[in-house]
Structure 1
Amino acid sequence: MLLPVSLFALVQSFVLLAEAQQQQLALDTVRDFNSSSLPSPPTFFISPSSDFRHVSVGLCASSAGAPRFFVSNDSSITHPGPDNVDGKSVIEISVGPEGYGSFAGFFPRGGFFAIQAGSVNTPFEILLSAANSTNPLSPFASETTANQAIVFSPSFDPLDPLEPSYPNYTLPSANLTQGNAPSPPKNYTLVYVPTANSPLASVLRTNCAIRSAAQQSNSGAKILSSNSATLWLRDDQGWRWEWFLGGSEGGLTPKTNYTMYTLQDGTIAASKPVMFLTKSASFACALVHQLPYCPAVAYAVPLAVPRPPQVAYTASTLPSPVGETIVSGMSNFTSTLTTLACGRDDYSPLVTCADCQAAYRTWLCTVSFPRCGESNPTSPTPPGASPSTALLGGSSAQQVLLPAVPALKTVNASAAARNPALPAFGEAYEVLLPCLEVCNAADRACPVFLGFKCPLPAFTASDSYAVGYVDSGREGEVGGGATGGAWDEFGNVWCNGP
């Protein structure tokens, strides 16, 4: 007895679906494959979903005969391939020169992912995810010394702003707490290597390609997981992993360029390469980091190198008068600020007492911890910031040429420290002046009755602040500076600021 055509088609569709479900792309699970040992058939079912989905692929090695990848957003098309690509129901995922590619769209009726093996044996990875895994954020190097560096991962799990309300208008304490870390946090792996003759320079920018190249015994690369890092809430952008380089994994080399990448678990593409330069062997300042009352401070300060086994200063090893002075000053400022009926008596339609306290904390920490720097005659000019003219004081007669080099100032050994709570350093050093915008931001955010004032660019501001780097140099004008920011992705730091 023959089955009716409609019933036969229904049975066949159930058979195909059952076979497909044995090879299904699970959400947020990276799958590793090799084009020489693909499953048969090399197709995978994608479950129906009303949510946006990304199908990403990443090659683990360069290959002229790499496999090709196809996706259908309709479960009736069970074998997408080069013969039925139409750009709508069947799409070929194009792999770019950096080794990865993706398709983003909806699969309301499910779909299929198919692989066409290439002529060369090539390892690769596949990922079905709700978020784009081929446009990762980059890490940044907060500071270096001759043989150490502090590196932060990209931020994750940003904080929800909590604005206090009247009458229980309670501001954060002077000595902040880090709060509850996300559980589980996003895991990152840091890979870094000397830039000169780096074997990673010609490698595809995928997690598997960089990891494989870095694991070669002659690569010279270091691989650090999040197990060797500390979770740190640096700012309201969210949590970060902080790596201290130059510890148990070995010190860095003075005056050397390094290239680093971060590899995030559950993604295909690595971050873009980011570089940093260590200081010269004579650089004497010590690193200070992990201060709850100044969470963004993670740089070199004019302090003698701590005694072993300590390799840097933290809140528990910093001379106690330093931290006590900042906490006391922050407490007194907050008490004065809250004499205003915050949340009831608005002094501005744009900012609040909470904004004022946060901006003041940034300013207080920046000026309380002078940032050591070092002249580097080969410092590159930041993009779009060739030597330019900054207009000071609003008068064309007061134009000065602002070179695109860091705002460094030499401090003599006998000079009084900007922060009297810091112990005497005993030798000359170069200090990276605070960005004037750090002061102006606090001035703008705080009520007038506090009497907070910043020096004027036309007169004395350049004696103690970096003018024209973030701010324009014109009175009352925000932005428009030569560098546009305190630091850049190439490891250059122009002035001391967040």
Structure 2
Amino acid sequence: MLPESLLCLISATLAFAQARQQLTLDSVASFNTLRLNPPSFSIPQEERLAVSIALCSVTNSQPRFFVSNISNSDAQSDPGPAGGTSVFEIKLVDGLGSWAGGFPNGGLLSVQSSDADGFSFDVGLSTNTEPLHQNITLPFLGDTTSNQAIILSAPFAKFDIPVPSYPNYTLPAANMSQPPPPSSTPNMTLIVTETSRGITGGPRTGCFLSSQTTAGAIDEQTIWARDISGYRSQWLLSGLTPSTNYTAFVVQDSTKPPLSAHSCTLSHSVLG
């Protein structure tokens, strides 16, 4: 029989290896399945949470994520495909998915995958009504030349439009100046790739898109009030190849990619 001290050491080692990592509220954490032991996480107690998942690399399998909101006790089994009371699957669409609900006693999140090479993913916990990972409106193509393009983000802030007073019918100036820009702007990143590269086959998530090499060079980035929709980020891009199809993505805060259902809307043929 092993000495008592050695038995205690073995027991402590096993307990340490199987301890679940606790996720932090209102933050995004990055993981790789090759370094998960066990492949599950503890969710803290909160009246309501939005749990979001974003795949950050290409995977050969179809990973599945399950969440339970019974308890975050170490004695609680990992949620899985067998289901059960208060077990829910977070469905992924283009590598992005979320689930919202109450966690009065905490909860658990687990990942299941058969990919032996592993893959990277982000987990976000939000105490707000919206998940930290979400799709945003598609960017807007302004104009092109033989090797340049103007691309604008979706509107992110409104501005005041003066209301005419009657019976004064004075027309506004022919060349109106831009309204003052907002005091703070979201962190927007432009990614442009040749459509033939097939980047659209990977996850449509901010963490994956942000890791891709962008084509051309960004000569200028400004804030522009293009129309009554509001302020947009505007990029002047140069160094593109004539007669080549490009696909553009705008990622906000590295977690919010454009709407994945319309991946080719901004593909444009730059012609000489």
| Counterpart residue type for residue 267 of structure 1 | T
1:73–1:89 contact (8 Å) kept in structure 2:
yes
2:44–2:72 contact (8 Å) kept in structure 1:
no
How far the C-alpha of 1:276 sits from its partner, in A, is 1.3
5 Å-filtered alignment, 1:146-295, equals 146-159=146-159, 163=163, 175-195=175-195, 197-212=196-211, 214-215=212-213, 221-222=214-215, 228-246=220-238, 251-267=239-255, 269-271=257-259, 272-273=263-264, 274-280=266-272
In structure 2, how many angstroms separate the alpha carbons of the residues matched to 1:169 and 1:32? 58
Match of 1:43 in 2: 41
* CA displacement 1:281-300 (0-9 Å, x = unmatched): xxxxxxxxxxxxxxxxxxxx
- Secondary structure class of the residue paired with 1:154: coil
In structure 1, how many angstroms separate the alpha carbons of the residues matched to 2:243 and 2:39? 54
| Counterpart residue type for residue 101 of structure 2 | F
5 Å-filtered alignment, 1:9-88, equals 23-27=22-26, 29-38=27-36, 42-49=40-47, 53-65=49-61, 67-75=63-71, 80-82=78-80, 85-86=83-84
In structure 1, how many angstroms separate the alpha carbons of the residues matched to 2:37 and 2:140? 40
- Secondary structure class of the residue paired with 1:208: helix
Match of 1:12 in 2: none
Match of 1:479 in 2: none
How far the C-alpha of 1:145 sits from its partner, in A, is 1.1
How far the C-alpha of 1:150 sits from its partner, in A, is 0.7
Match of 2:140 in 1: 140
Match of 1:385 in 2: none
Distance 1:167 1:127, change over 3 A: farther
How far the C-alpha of 1:156 sits from its partner, in A, is 0.7
Match of 1:106 in 2: 101
In structure 2, how many angstroms separate the alpha carbons of the residues matched to 1:80 and 1:170? 69
Match of 1:342 in 2: none
* CA displacement 1:444-489 (0-9 Å, x = unmatched): xxxxxxxxxxxxxxxxxxxxxxxxxxxxxxxxxxxxxxxxxxxxxx
Q: Unaligned stretches of 5+ in structure 1?
A: 1-18, 216-220, 281-498
TM-score of the two chains, using structure 2 as the length reference: 0.73
- Return the structure number with greater relative CO, CA threshold 8 A, min gap 6: 2
Distance 1:164 1:85, change over 3 A: farther
| Aligned equivalent of 1:91, options 72, 88, 93 | 88
In structure 2, how many angstroms separate the alpha carbons of the residues matched to 1:111 and 1:184? 35
1:45–1:110 contact (8 Å) kept in structure 2:
no
In structure 1, how many angstroms separate the alpha carbons of the residues matched to 2:141 and 2:147? 13
2:64–2:111 contact (8 Å) kept in structure 1:
yes
Distance 1:31 1:268, change over 3 A: farther
- Secondary structure class of the residue paired with 2:209: helix
Q: Unaligned stretches of 5+ in structure 2?
A: 1-18
In structure 2, how many angstroms separate the alpha carbons of the residues matched to 1:82 and 1:123? 20
How far the C-alpha of 1:175 sits from its partner, in A, is 4.4
Distance 1:38 1:192, change over 3 A: same
Aligned identity (percent) is: 35
| Counterpart residue type for residue 118 of structure 1 | S
2:64–2:112 contact (8 Å) kept in structure 1:
yes
1:25–1:44 contact (8 Å) kept in structure 2:
no
TM-score of the two chains, using structure 1 as the length reference: 0.42
Match of 1:116 in 2: 111
Q: How many residues align?
A: 243
| Counterpart residue type for residue 181 of structure 1 | P
Query: Which structure has the greater CA radius of gyration?
Result: 1
CA RMSD of superposed structures (Å): 3.5
Answer 1 or 2: which has greater strand percent: 2
In structure 1, how many angstroms separate the alpha carbons of the residues matched to 2:255 and 2:180? 25
In structure 1, how many angstroms separate the alpha carbons of the residues matched to 2:112 and 2:81? 15
| Counterpart residue type for residue 144 of structure 1 | T
1:35–1:67 contact (8 Å) kept in structure 2:
no
